[in-house]
Each structure stands twice: as C-alpha cells, then as structure tokens.
Amino acid sequence: MRFVAAQVIALLADDLWLELATHANDAARRLGEQLDAVEGVSLVQAVQANMVFVRFPEKFAARIHQAVGPFHPPTSDRTVGRLVTAWDTQPSDVTSFVDAVTRITRER
C-alpha cells in the first residue's frame, strides 16, 4: 500500500492531478477541433473531457483504423471512433493523427 499511497500523495501535491487532467482535456479539445475541420469527418458529440467521439467517412473508416492504429468504436458502428488523450499526449501526436486522417480522406 505504500507504493500506491506514494503515487496518490504525488498526484495530490501542488494539484498535479489537475494539471495532468487539464493537459489531457486540452489535447482532446484540439484533436476534436482539428478533426471536425477535415472534410467528411464529424464530431458525434461535443468534446467535454479527454475523449473525442468522431464519425469517419464509411468508405475510409477501415483504412483510417489500419493507418493510425486501433481506435475503439463505442458502438457496433465501425465508422465511429472513441479517441482518448492522456497526460502525455503531445501536440505532435494530435497533428500526426489529424494529418493521417486528412491524407486518407483526400485519397478518392
């Protein structure tokens, strides 16, 4: 229990947990805004935390999934992805993902 307690104490000290959560939420907001600007891609709902629910064009969904790695559909609809950002998500991660999606959706 000491190991777990040490982690919790570190997270609570100086509001580190809030800083990390804010970073993840900001990354999700950027990801959602940038994906929503891609033609044919749309947000399923507003970004309110560190998760982005997005609908990809049906004809590209499988290729996007293969190119960018696994994203987890929250329903049986394979065109909807649940994307989650974290405390360590970098701006370059967001840019790389959006660039890959943009590139695929422009390939007709």
Question: What are 11-51's pLDDT values in tens digits?
Answer: 899 999 999 999 999 999 999 999 999 999 999 999 999 99
- Rg of the chain over CA atoms, in angstroms? 16
38 in any annotated domain: yes
56 in any annotated domain: yes
Strands (E), 1-108: 42-43, 51-55, 80-84
Residue 108 has pLDDT above 70, yes or no: no
The pLDDT value recorded for residue 64 is: 86
5 in any annotated domain: no
Residue 74 has pLDDT above 70, yes or no: no
- CATH code at position 94: 3.90.1150.10
Which bin fits 14, alpha (ψ -120 to 50), beta or left (φ > 0)?
left
More confident residue, 35 or 70: 35
Residue 2 has pLDDT above 80, yes or no: no
Q: Which among 75, 82, 14 has a CA at the least distance from the CA of 50?
A: 82
18 in any annotated domain: no
99 in any annotated domain: yes
- Domain limits at 50? 23-106
Domain count, the chain: 1
4 in any annotated domain: no
14 in any annotated domain: no
Provide the CA 96 distance to its chain's centre, in angstroms: 12
90 in any annotated domain: yes
Burial 2-29 (b: 16+ CB within 10 A, else e): eeeeeeeeeeeeeeeeeeebebbbebbb
More confident residue, 11 or 101: 101
